[in-house]
Amino acid sequence: MDDALTIAVRVKPGSSRARVGGRFDGPHGPALVIAVHPPAADGRATEAARRALAAALGIRPAAVSLRTGAASRDKLFLVTPTGPDLVDRLSRLRDGPEPAG
Per the domain annotation, does 12 fall within a domain? yes
Domain, as residue range, for 81: 5-94
Rounded CA-CA distance 21/34 in Å is 6
Q: What is the pTM of this model?
A: 0.90
One digit per residue, the tens of pLDDT, for the chain of length 101 reads 458 899 999 999 999 998 999 999 999 999 999 999 999 999 999 999 999 999 999 999 999 999 999 999 999 999 997 778 888 899 899 987 665 55
pLDDT of residue 81: 79
* Burial (CB count <10 Å: 0-12, 13-18, 19+), residue 99: middle
* Burial (CB count <10 Å: 0-12, 13-18, 19+), residue 10: buried
Give the helix ranges, DSSP H, for the chain.
Answer: 44-57, 84-94
pLDDT of residue 1: 46
Per the domain annotation, does 100 fall within a domain? no
- Domain with residue 23: its CATH number is 3.30.1200.10
pLDDT of residue 5: 93
